[in-house]
Amino acid sequence: MSAFGAYFGLLRVGWVLVREGVVSALPSEGLPPSVSLAKSFVSMFARGGSKNQARSDRLSKAVERLGPSYVKIGQFLATRPDVVGVEFANDLSQLQDRMAFFPVAAAKANIEGSLGRPLDELYASFGDPIAAASIAQVHPAEIDTPEGRKKVAVKVVRPGVRQRFANDLAAMYMVAGLQERFMPSSRRLRPVEVTKTLEQTTKVEMDLRLEAAALSEIAENTEKDPGFRVPKVDWERTGRDVITMEWIDGIKMSDVEALKASGHDLNALADILIQSFLRHTLRDGFFHADMHPGNLFVAPDGMIVAVDMGIVGRLGKKERRFLAEILYGFITRDYLRVAEVHFEAGYVPGHHNMESFAQAIRAIGEPIHGQPAETISMGKLLTLLFEVTELFDMETRPELVMLQKTMVVVEGVSRMLNPRFNMWKASEPVVGDWIRTNLGPKRIVADLRDGLKAAVKLAEAVPEIAAKTEKFHHELLQMSENGLRFDAQTAEAIGKSEAKHNRSARVALWFIALALIYIAWRLS
């Protein structure tokens, strides 16, 4: 996409935000006078009806007007309160990913193009869409199996969504680049890196083979877990633009009254949900990062079934240990250890004072110990922790922020099921077991094992490293004796570049000269 196209895209976004009253709803406190004046001016162009709406409603309307790719961008930014602020993240989290259906004929064409087979060979029946989101829509269908006809869910990518997203992303890159250049305070948040993360996660989400792989991986991880599973994937009918999976007959977790009426134990469901999430996070390092109530079903047998694995998160061993030690440090009120963990992980720059950081951690932890356990939110604790770390130049860790945001959502669903939900009591079996296994004597054995593996790999690579070192040394000797030389192609490329640069400079000088002549003529 050209720079002109990106600028035009930004102007369109700005105009929609102005028209829907989003700009006028922004807080004015702390803004420079010139910015406040500009805000007051553009607010005059807001629609009359928008002024009576809440800011979150205005933002939702604006994003929906901008189209499917901006809905996805908004949902991603809702997971990054460190970038957009807590208030806007909360506003964006209310975005409803419900879009208009696209034609069934287009869905069928997408399926046949992706799988290379006629639809009639793939499905015994194929129904009208029942749900449509920014990236894909879902159809009910049936397939013939040796056991008889079986109902399945077919998710199909929205036609043209990849190109639209690429165009809109170009504008985001431009904003991120300008932000890093002209707002030094924002560099800690790495806006360009955040945009790259958005690009990568959405590309993954638009390739339904990768969602199928995520479902398959988490199915293997949770095979023996109590009370939790994911739909089975039909790999024969899955490709880049389509995924076919088991149809789930269950009640959405958002429908609390229906769950009660069906006789499900809501308190037990709340415990199972948070324990499952913590197992995925600490044990597997791989978690469903979009566990809102609409993506969670309760099957007739009481099993929680999670769907829509387009957004997932991963944590390495270092991040998992970091999380567990933080939680354990807060539980035991060992704030110095919590501070040490941040410094050991390299998340807080070493020039800061560890004791001062521990003091800031204490300001978060002490109020918690005076509260009843059921009122303490683990997600809220992590939110406060990330706010404090900003004072100590802690760089943004996208994987930890995604974890924190998902934990807030999962904890919220558990409290929706059980208003007196005790997060710490429910999580203790999982967190306690992980800490005993990974932070006790077994940790030393595991570290020794990992160190031995690394040493073996290094030993295997020694001959290759030695050969490369010798080659590099030989090339350095040649350069010192003969000087730095370019081949003919490199010299020609440099010449062309220099000539092009000179032509551009001459054109610019002529343009400036003509502009000065015109200005002088107008003033005369």
Written as one string, the DSSP assignment of 60-121 is HHHHHHH-HHHHHHHHHHHT-HHHH-HHHHHHHHT-----PPPPHHHHHHHHHHHHSS-HHH
Predicted confidence pLDDT, tens digits, the chain (524 residues)? 555 565 666 677 777 777 777 677 666 665 567 667 776 777 777 776 656 666 667 777 777 777 766 777 777 777 666 666 666 777 776 665 567 889 999 999 999 999 999 999 999 999 999 988 888 999 999 999 988 899 999 999 999 888 888 877 777 787 777 777 776 766 666 777 777 877 877 787 889 999 999 999 999 999 999 999 999 999 999 999 999 999 998 999 989 999 999 999 999 999 999 999 999 999 999 999 888 888 899 999 999 999 988 888 888 888 888 888 877 777 778 888 888 888 887 778 888 888 988 898 888 878 766 666 566 676 667 777 767 766 787 766 667 767 877 887 888 889 889 988 887 788 888 887 888 787 666 555 555 666 666 667 667 777 777 777 777 767 667 666 666 555 566 556 656 655 555 555 554 444 444 544 444 444 44
* pLDDT value of position 512: 46
Q: Tokens 């999976």, residue?
A: 245
Examine the residue annotation and report whether 290 is marked as an active-site residue of this protein: yes
What would the two tokens of residue 208 be?
Answer: 């339904």
Question: What residue numbers bound the domain in which 492 lies?
Answer: 486-524
Cβ burial of 420 (10 Å; 0-12, 13-18, 19+) is exposed
Query: Are both 176 and 257 inside the same structural domain?
Result: no
| Angle separating helix axes 68-78 and 191-206, nearest 10 degrees | 120
On whether residue 197 sits in a domain, the answer given is yes
**Residue in 207, 241, 290, 308 annotated catalytic:** 290
Give backbone dihedrals phi and psi of 439, rounded to 5 degrees, phi first. -115, 5
Residue 422 placed within a domain:
yes
91 and 194 part of one domain: yes
Total structural domains within the chain = 3
Confirm whether 123 is domain-assigned. Answer: no
**Quick one: tokens of 58?**
């205005």
Residue 234 lies in a domain: no
Q: Are residues 325 and 188 in the same domain?
A: no
Please check whether residue 113 is in contact with residue 105, taking contact to mean a CB–CB distance below 8 angstroms.
no
**Inside any domain, residue 150:** no
Rounded to whole angstroms, the Cα distance separating 121 from 518 reads 71
**pLDDT number for residue 434:** 84
d(CA 404, CA 397): 11
Strands 131-132 and 136-145: antiparallel
Of 378, 412, 439, which marks where a domain is finished?
439
pLDDT at 518: 45
182 within a domain of the structure (yes/no): yes
Burial class (CB in 10 A: 0-12, 13-18, 19+), 274: buried
Residue 415 lies in a domain: yes
Helix axes 208-221, 191-206, angle to 10 degrees: 90
Q: Tell me if residue 208 falls in helix, strand or coil.
A: helix
Same structural domain, 275 and 414: yes
Do 192 and 292 lie in one domain? The reply is no
Inside any domain, residue 242: no
For residue 37, give Cα distances in angstroms to 42, 50, 107, 384, 520: 9, 20, 49, 33, 33
